[in-house]
Amino acid sequence: MPDAGYWGGNLSEAVTNGTVSVDRLNDMVARQLAAFYYLGQNGTYPPPSIYSSTQKHVPVNVQGDHRILIREIGAAGTVLVKNVNNSLPLKDPQFLNIYGYDAQVPPSPWQNPSRYGGGYEVNFGWQTFNGTLITGGGSGGATPPYVISPFQAIQDRMISQTPPGNLRWDFYSENPTPAYVNAEACLVFINSYASESFDRVNLDDEFSDKLVNNVAANCTNTIVVVHSAGIRLVEAWIDNPNVTAVLFAGLPGQESGNSLAQILYGDVSPSGRLPYTVARQPSDYGSPELVNGSVSLDYFPQSNFSEGLFIDYRHFDREGIEPRFEFGFGLSYSEFEYSMKLNVTDLGGRTDEYPSADVQVVQGGHPQLWDILFEVSIDITNVGNVSAHEVAQMYVTIPEDDTPIRQLRGFERMLLEAGERGTATFQLTRRDLSIWDVVAQQWKLPRGSYDVVVGASSRDLRTNGTIQIAQ
């Protein structure tokens, strides 16, 4: 990294004083140059398109079909966690209210483009909410060529209806008035921002929570959309009977609004699944230093990882804590039925306790760790009325003390038409079934019975089977 702040001059010093060997330095250089020559940068490769914001230059357009792909990905990653009485999808509504700072693009996104993703102009102590969240900040940020906001996309849909619909909006107020009681639904957009060099010190937000409850007090069909750079607690309003639907829309990128509109209007059935557990309170996640702690400015902070393997759903399972929404959870506009029979096939691979000592260990680990030992399959039927993706998840219990009750070892996202049956198939490698033996300093395949379960989330487990590793 040619940055004297951390590495440049410091690396030179480390080589000089022997902390980093010359061989290691040569290896680093070789890797850089290998990529350089592999891409043909020494020949006909286009010149770098790196310019300052004040330097006139010829734009290099590399978008291709990116907008189509990212729209599809944004919709696929949207997680529906509440949907009372099929409030979603919307059915050609004639009158909608849209509230919240997250519904519209920020008024001036370019002042701090490296942290675009909410339009926030500072990292520490920010209090303003002035734009829809499409990316995280810092190195996770981006300056997209355009942004389709949720408001823009919904407005376009309302205009295209026959007859066109009516919209009312307020992007700024904590308690929007008037209530516009004629609305068929009120959509509230909130977000939770984080960035490199800045992390959230809370897992909720008082302004946003009040906004949701204030809108719900006047609207019996309140739909909440959350864009967030990680976990966002929802206890302040999730049980409000007037909050009828909730979507976790993540960080969807420049086609944000179009992706969301596809879900809201039922063009696409939601198939996103939570990549984390949404707790009921911050303390559910463990020791206080893991949540709501102070932000460290130390360049080399120390973490002892005392939680071991017991993070997220594994921690909740061990402690018997009931989450608000579990890891892997997500609703659909359809319903799926899992076969009661789980097929487990032994592929006849080697199941010695440790990988062979006479096989050379290469970069990435011992080659035998990736041997496929078992195959698991289950039939799933779409018993609903619409075409939709189901995301079947396979969890495994390893017969060893002080290991999680179950661990995700595979998932299969499958598209099924209404009434269609399909087969989800999972493969289990030696690595999937192993634990790290700190004494032997090798991956160990424990002896005994492994429980295998398949379901729709880490707690919605439908069918189980077993794998036997003989003594």
Q: Which residues of 157-190 are buried (b: 16+ CB within 10 A; e: fewer)?
A: bbeeeeeebebbbbbeeeebeeebeebbbbbbbb
Between 149 and 108, residue with greater pLDDT: 149
pLDDT band at 116 (very low <50, low <70, confident <90, very high): very low
Range 66-264 has CATH code 3.40.50.1700: yes
CATH 3.40.50.1700 region(s) of the chain?
66-264
Model pLDDT for residues 151-196, shown as the tens digit of each residue: 999 999 999 999 999 999 999 999 998 767 789 999 999 998 877 6
Report in angstroms the alpha-carbon separations of 350 from 213, 299, 370, 410, 436. 58, 45, 11, 21, 18
What is the distance, to the nearest Å, from the Cα of residue 262 to the centroid of all Cα atoms in its chain?
19
What's the pLDDT at 6?
64
Least confident of 130-134, 181-185, 280-284: 130-134
Tell me the Cα Rg of the chain: 26
pLDDT value, residue 2: 55
Question: In this structure, are residues 89 and 263 in contact, taking their beta carbons and an 8 Å threshold?
Answer: yes
Residue with more model confidence, 2 or 240: 240
| Spatial distance between the Cα atoms of 248 and 128, rounded to a whole number of angstroms | 21
3-class SS string, 45-79: CCCCCCCCCCCCCCCCCCCCCHHHHHHHHHHHCCE
Across the chain, mean pLDDT equals 88
Under the banding of pLDDT at 50, 70 and 90, the label for residue 331 is very high
CATH 2.60.40.10 domain extents, the chain: 335-469
pLDDT, tens only, 377-393:
999 999 999 999 999 99
pLDDT at 122: 39
Name residue 442's amino acid. Answer: Q
Is residue 452 within 8 A of residue 467, CB to CB? The reply is: yes
**Please, which pLDDT band fits residue 110 given cuts at 50, 70 and 90?**
very low
DSSP state of 195: B
Q: What is the pLDDT of residue 200?
A: 73
* CATH entry 2.60.40.10 includes domain 335-469: yes
Percent of the chain exceeding pLDDT 90 equals 68
pLDDT at 130 over 60: yes
Helices and strands in the chain: count of H runs, count of E runs: 7, 16
